[in-house]
Structure formats: structure tokens, C-alpha cells
């Protein structure tokens, strides 16, 4: 705690140095962040990064709903990613509090609170550590409404977890576990690509009548900055976004990868005059088959990219559906550029990620097929 006080004071007094540092860090990212072109709702906006937008959403949730609780490891002081800064001071330790270090406890506790009608917003510190809570999420949260004939549910449950590559996270600070949970009917899963989506999707999850999991790409917490609507707003779960319209190839991704794909689309245009359509899937469960298939039927070539390993990755589900629904439209096999079938390595990260060069190469192959 003392260390954090020093850091906070230090940070405040050294913002200029920090900005320079941040820029250096950004140059080391495998992606270039592209802010959303327009705001989804009218009205006043304010410049926020993704953790600030999440903080803002949590504030709104706590403000508008007396039953709302925010808890998890280290949330009281502000959270290891600063998503919960200021919330305990504002809403009190009865509503914003630390739990013991126990993910199965955090999610089990959250389910019970949700059963009684409390809006339970649980934080898992890193998605890599969500697995002790797998039983509670998959066997309990997802199935509670179904197995009780609708008598009981934990619709008021939202679980947040930072996910994805961050440059140096290695095996246990970089994982994208969406595929494990996508295989669980009864859950909803979303992945924001930036601050606006993070705020809108988090509020949507909090207010959704089903248990939701929001995986927040940690690499975007600071790197993603946007003009975020000040008002309280929700964005639809289950709806993909077409970020860039194109004619020849459909590029599908979620989270950080969306920004890689936007850059790839630009490179494809400048390097070999290919027009790419970029889709942010946004929602893993339920996922927007209609938007994807509509696009693929138009372009006839598709690349799916995700950081998670290839085998059993969510790209496989999207690919299987595309070939089922769009078979006769396809001019080339569905391509997937993903993390390899290895655990997520440390120093080898530049070789592991589905970077823009691998994606660009895959597009060339699709066009040349």
C-alpha cells in the first residue's frame, strides 16, 4: 500500500516523463490502436482510456443500482489495472471490497449474491487465473436457470477479467480463454476493442438478465484512448461491428486483434490493392452469424484471426459455420491465423502472435487461391 502511495504521488508529478515512456511502450506493441470513428450515442464525450472507461461504467452501475457490488482481489485500492479506482471511497466498503485470494470463492460468492437479486460484478485479476472458477461458471452459473426450471438464476452476475497479450505476459498473463467458455450454453461472452465498447458492453453485461463474462484485453487499458460518451449507455451483446467496408476479403477478429486487422486491411490496400472488410465479432456467445455470413457471401474470402491457440480456438467455430452457410459462395478455404498450439511464451512472443505479417500473407494466399 505504501508503495502504491509513492507511485501515485510520483506519477502525478511526473506525467510528462510518463507520456514519453508510454509512447516508447506503444512503439513496442504489435498493434496500432485505431479509435472508433463515431460515438454510438449522441451527446457530450470525454477522452478516456479503456481502464478509465471501465471505471466510469462501474461507477454508473454502482450509482444507478443500489444493489450493485464490485469485488475481487485488490479492487479496494483501485485494482492492479486501476479499473476500480475511487469506487470504494465513493460507495463504501460494503459495496466495493476485496475478497480473499480465491477465484472459485469469488465466482461462487458472486453467484449467490446474484441469486438474491444483488447485481454482482466480480473481477478475476487475470483471465489466466479464471480456471479455479471454471466449475462455478460452467456447472453452476451457466446452468442455474435451466436446471431449476427458471425458479432460480444468476442473471445479475457479471465477471470481468483482463485477457490477452501484453508484450511480456508469457504463459500466465497473456491467455485468451474465450473458447473454453464459448462451449458453455447459458453464458454470454463479450470482448471490447476499446474504451467506448468497454463501457457500453460492461453496462450491457451488468444489466443483462443472464450471467456474462467480459474479457478485457489488457494491452488496451492504456493504449486505447477514445472520446467516450459521458452518458450512461449500453451496447448490444450478440451483434458484430463492421468497422471497415470492403469487397474482396473479410477479416474477422475481436479485442486487440481488431486493430491488427485494421492495419492489415490498410497494408493490403496499399501493397496489393485489395479491398478488405473488417469485422469485430464483439460477442463470442451468442455470436453474430448473420453479419459474418452476409459479409462472406459478398467477399467470398475470409480470414479469422485470434491470439488463442489454433486447435479448438473460437475461429474453428466461426470457420465451421461459414463453410456450412456460405459453402457455394467461397472462392477459397476459410483461413485462420492464430496463436500456435503451444502455451503462450515469453521471449518468443513476437513469433507467437497472429501479427500483421502473418495476416497479410494469409490474405495474399486467399487472393491467389
Partner 1 sequence: MATNKCLHLLRGRFRDQLRFCRHLTTQGPLFPGAQTTWTSDLTFVTASTYTPIPVYRVMDRKGAVIDATHEPPLPDTTLLKMYTDMRLLNTMDKILYESQRQGRISFYMTNFGEEAMHIGSAAALTAADVVYGQYREAGVLMWRGFTLQEFVDQCYGNRDDKGKGKQMPIHYGSKELNFVTISSPLGTQMPQAVGAAYALKGSGRVVICYYGDGAASEGDAHAAFNFAATLECPVILFCRNNGYAISTPVREQYRGDGIAARGPAYGVHTLRADGNDVLAMYNATKLAREYCVKEQKPVVIEAMGYRVGHHSTSDDSTAYRSQEEVDQWTSSDNPTVKFKTYLTNKGLWNEEKEKEFIKKARQDVMTAFVAGEKKPKPEWTECFEDVYKYMPEHIKQQMNQMKSHVEKYKEHYPVDEFA
**Residue closer to partner 1 (CB basis): 112 or 167:** 112
Does residue 236 touch partner 1 according to CB under 8 A? no
Count of CB atoms situated within 10 Å of the CB of 92: 11
- Binds partner 1 (CB under 8 A): choice among 5, 47, 183, 346: 5
At 133, list the grid cell: 472458477
Long-range CB contacts (within 8 A, 24+) of 133-139: 133/103, 133/104, 133/106, 133/107, 133/108, 133/159, 134/180, 135/104, 136/104, 136/107, 136/108, 136/111, 137/107, 137/181, 137/184, 137/187, 137/211, 137/213, 138/181, 138/184, 138/187
Binding window for partner 1 (CB under 8 A); candidates: 46-54, 181-189, 222-230, 355-363: 181-189
Between 317 and 355, name the residue whose CB sits nearer to partner 1. Answer: 317
Measured from the CB atom, the residue of 136 and 174 that comes closer to partner 1 is: 136
Binding mask 82-111 for partner 1 (x = CB under 8 A): ------------x--x-xx-x-xx-xxxxx
Q: Which is nearer to partner 1, 146 or 348 (CB)?
A: 146
Mark 241-280 with x for binding to partner 1 (rule: CB under 8 A) and - for no binding: ----------------------------------------
Q: Which of residues 110-129 bind partner 1 (CB under 8 A)?
A: 110-118, 120
Nearer to partner 1, 112 or 345 (CB): 112
In the complex, the smallest distance separating the C-beta of residue 351 from partner 1, rounded to whole angstroms, is 33
- CB–CB of 277/249 below 8 Å? yes
Q: Residue with C-alpha cell 477465484? A: 103
Grid cell listed for 101: 485470494
Beta bridge partners of 242: 279
Cell matching residue 121: 460484478
Angle at 240 between CA 129 and CA 47, to 5 degrees: 75
* Catalytic (active site) residue 247: no
At closest approach, how far in Å is the CB of 84 from partner 1? 17
Of 47-55, 183-191, 264-272, 353-361, which part binds partner 1 (CB under 8 A)? 183-191
- Is residue 2 involved in binding partner 1 (CB under 8 A)? yes
Considering the complex, what minimum distance in angstroms separates the CB of residue 220 from partner 1?
26
173 has catalytic annotation:
yes
Contacts of 295 (CB under 8 A, 6+ apart): 242, 250, 277, 279, 302
Cα 246 from Cα 269, distance rounded (Å): 10
Q: Report d(CA 213, CA 225) in Å as an integer.
A: 23
* C-beta of residue 127 within 8 angstroms of C-beta of residue 215: yes
30, 123, 140, 173: which is the annotated catalytic residue? 173
Tell the smallest beta-carbon distance from residue 127 to partner 1 (Å).
Answer: 19
CA angle 65, 127, 214 (to 5 degrees): 35
Our CB check for partner 1 shows the closer of 130 and 362 to be 130
186 forms part of the interface with partner 1 (CB under 8 A): yes
150 lines the binding site for partner 1 (CB under 8 A): yes
Q: Is position 210 an interface residue for partner 1 (rule: CB under 8 A)?
A: yes
In the structure grid, which three cell numbers stand for residue 181, read together? 467458455
Is the sign of the CA dihedral 132, 91, 80, 74 positive or negative?
Answer: negative
Footprint on this chain of partner 1 (rule: CB under 8 A): 2, 5-6, 9-10, 13-14, 17, 67, 69, 94, 97, 99-100, 102, 104-105, 107-118, 120, 132, 135-136, 139-140, 143-153, 155, 185-186, 188, 209-210, 238, 286, 289
Q: Active-site residue numbers?
A: 103, 173
Amino acid at each position: 500500500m505504501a508503495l502504491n502511495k509513492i507511485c501515485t504521488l510520483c506519477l502525478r508529478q511526473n506525467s510528462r516523463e510518463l507520456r514519453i515512456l508510454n509512447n516508447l511502450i506503444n512503439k513496442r506493441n504489435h498493434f496500432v490502436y485505431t479509435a472508433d470513428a463515431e460515438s454510438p450515442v449522441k451527446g457530450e464525450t470525454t477522452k478516456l482510456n479503456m481502464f478509465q472507461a471501465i471505471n466510469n461504467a462501474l461507477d454508473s452501475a454502482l450509482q444507478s443500482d443500489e444493489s450493485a457490488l464490485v469485488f475481487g482481489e485488490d479492487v479496494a485500492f483501485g485494482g492492479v489495472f486501476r479499473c476500480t479506482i475511487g469506487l470504494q471511497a465513493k460507495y463504501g466498503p460494503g459495496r466495493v471490497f476485496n475478497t480473499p485470494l480465491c477465484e472459485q470463492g469469488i465466482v461462487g460468492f458472486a453467484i449467490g449474491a446474484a441469486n438474491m437479486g444483488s447485481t454482482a460484478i466480480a473481477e478475476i485479476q487475470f483471465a489466466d487465473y479464471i480456471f479455479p472458477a471454471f466449475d462455478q461458471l460452467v456447472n453452476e452459473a451457466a446452468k442455474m436457470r435451466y436446471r431449476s426450471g427458471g425458479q432460480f438464476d444468476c442473471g445479475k452476475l457479471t465477471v470481468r477479467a483482463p485477457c490477452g497479450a501484453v508484450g511480456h505476459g508469457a504463459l500466465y498473463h497473456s491467455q485468451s480463454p474465450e473458447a473454453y467458455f464459448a462451449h458453455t450454453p447459458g453464458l454470454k461472452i463479450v470482448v471490447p476493442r476499446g474504451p467506448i465498447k468497454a463501457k457500453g458492453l460492461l453496462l450491457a453485461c451488468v444489466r443483462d438478465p443472464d450471467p456474462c463474462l467480459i474479457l478485457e484485453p489488457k494491452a488496451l487499458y492504456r493504449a486505447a484512448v477514445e472520446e467516450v460518451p459521458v452518458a450512461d449507455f449500453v451496447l448490444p451483446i450478440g451483434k458484430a461491428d463492421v468497422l471497415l467496408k470492403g469487397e474482396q476479403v473479410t477479416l474477422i477478429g475481436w479485442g486487440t486483434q481488431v486493430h491488427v486487422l485494421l492495419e492489415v486491411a490498410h497494408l493490403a490496400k496499399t501493397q496489393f490493392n485489395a479491398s478488405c472488410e473488417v469485422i469485430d465479432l464483439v460477442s463470442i456467445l451468442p455470436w453474430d452469424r448473420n453479419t459474418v455470413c452476409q459479409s462472406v457471401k459478398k467477399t467470398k474470402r475470409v480470414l479469422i484471426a485470434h491470439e488463442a491457440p489454433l486447435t479448438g480456438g473460437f475461429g474453428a467455430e466461426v470457420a465451421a459455420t461459414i463453410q456450412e452457410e456460405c459453402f457455394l459462395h467461397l472462392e477459397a478455404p476459410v483461413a485462420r491465423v492464430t496463436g500456435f498450439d503451444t502455451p503462450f511464451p515469453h521471449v518468443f512472443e513476437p513469433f507467437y502472435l497472429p501479427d500483421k505479417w502473418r495476416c497479410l500473407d494469409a490474405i495474399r494466399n486467399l487472393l491467389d487461391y
